[in-house]
C-alpha cells in the first residue's frame, strides 16, 4: 500500500516538474511573440510623436509589433480622433493596456499553484516514507536490519528534495515573469501619460 502511494506521489511530482518546464517555455515564447521589453523602439516612437513627426510615429506604432507599440497606437488614435477630449485617448490606451497585461499574466496562477503544492506533496511523501519505515520497525523482533528501513527513509528524503526543487524552479520562473510584467506595466503608464500629456522636463523648476 505504501509503495503504491509513494509511486503516486513520484508521478505527481514528475507531472508538476513537466508542467513547470512547459509553462516556462510557454511564457518565454509568449513574451517574445508579444514583443515584451521593446522599450527603445517605443521610446523612439514617442520621441517622433512629441517632436511633431506624427505620421512617422503613427506608422511605426501601427505595426503593432510590441506591447508598448500597441498601447501607443491606442493613445495616438484617441488623440487624433478627439483632440479636444484627452480622456478618450486615456481610456483607449488604458483598455489596451489592460488587455495586454491580462495576456501577459496568463498561467501565472498555475506557477503559484506549483510553488504551493510541490512542497506539500514532498511533505506527504516524507510522512508516507516515515510511516513505512516505522511500520517495518514495528513488525521486527530484536535487532533491526538497516536495509529494511532504507526504502521508507529513501522515499521520505527524496520526495522532500524533489518537492522543494520543483517549488524553487517554479518560484524563480514566476519571479522572472512577474518582474517582466511589472516593468512593462510601468513603461505602459509612463508612455501613455507622455503620449497624451507630454513629457515632464526633469530640469524644470517648480513655480
pTM (two decimals): 0.84
Q: At 130, list the grid cell.
A: 516515515
pLDDT of residue 207: 44
pLDDT of residue 4: 84
The CA distances from residue 142 to 12, 87, 135, in Å, are 37, 84, 15
Q: At 81, list the grid cell.
A: 480622433
Tell me whether residue 45 is in a domain. Answer: yes
pLDDT of residue 152: 75
Tell me whether residue 137 is in a domain. Answer: yes
CB 149 within 8 A of CB 133: yes
pLDDT of residue 166: 96
Which DSSP string corresponds to 152-182?
HHHHHHHHHHHHHHHHHHHHHHHHHHHHHHH
pLDDT of residue 134: 76
Q: How many domains does the chain have?
A: 1
Tell me whether residue 206 is in a domain. Answer: no
Tell me whether residue 207 is in a domain. Answer: no
Q: Residue 148 belongs to what domain range?
A: 2-197
Q: How confident is the prediction along the chain (207 residues), in pLDDT tens digits per residue?
A: 667 888 899 999 999 999 999 999 999 999 999 999 999 999 999 999 999 999 999 999 999 999 999 999 999 999 999 999 999 999 999 999 999 999 999 999 999 999 999 999 999 988 888 887 777 777 766 666 667 677 778 888 899 999 999 999 999 999 999 999 999 999 999 999 999 998 876 554 544
Amino acid at each position: 500500500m505504501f509503495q503504491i502511494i509513494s509511486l503516486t506521489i513520484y508521478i505527481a511530482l514528475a507531472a508538476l516538474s513537466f508542467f513547470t518546464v512547459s509553462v516556462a517555455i510557454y511564457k518565454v515564447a509568449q513574451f517574445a511573440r508579444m514583443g515584451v521589453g521593446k522599450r527603445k523602439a517605443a521610446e523612439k516612437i514617442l520621441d517622433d510623436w512629441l517632436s511633431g513627426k506624427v505620421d512617422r510615429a503613427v506608422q511605426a506604432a501601427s505595426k503593432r509589433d510590441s506591447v508598448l507599440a500597441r498601447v501607443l497606437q491606442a493613445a495616438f488614435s484617441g488623440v487624433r480622433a478627439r483632440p479636444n477630449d484627452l480622456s478618450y485617448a486615456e481610456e483607449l490606451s488604458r483598455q489596451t493596456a489592460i488587455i495586454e497585461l491580462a495576456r501577459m499574466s496568463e498561467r501565472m496562477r498555475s506557477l503559484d499553484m506549483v510553488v504551493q503544492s510541490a512542497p506539500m506533496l514532498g511533505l506527504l511523501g516524507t510522512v508516507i516514507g516515515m510511516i513505512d519505515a516505522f511500520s517495518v520497525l514495528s513488525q521486527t523482533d530484536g535487532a533491526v536490519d538497516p536495509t529494511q528501513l532504507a526504502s521508507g527513509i529513501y522515499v521520505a528524503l527524496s520526495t522532500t528534495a524533489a518537492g522543494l526543487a520543483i517549488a524553487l524552479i517554479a518560484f524563480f520562473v514566476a519571479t522572472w515573469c512577474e518582474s517582466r510584467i511589472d516593468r512593462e506595466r510601468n513603461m505602459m503608464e509612463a508612455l501613455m501619460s507622455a503620449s497624451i500629456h507630454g513629457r515632464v522636463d526633469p530640469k524644470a523648476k517648480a513655480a
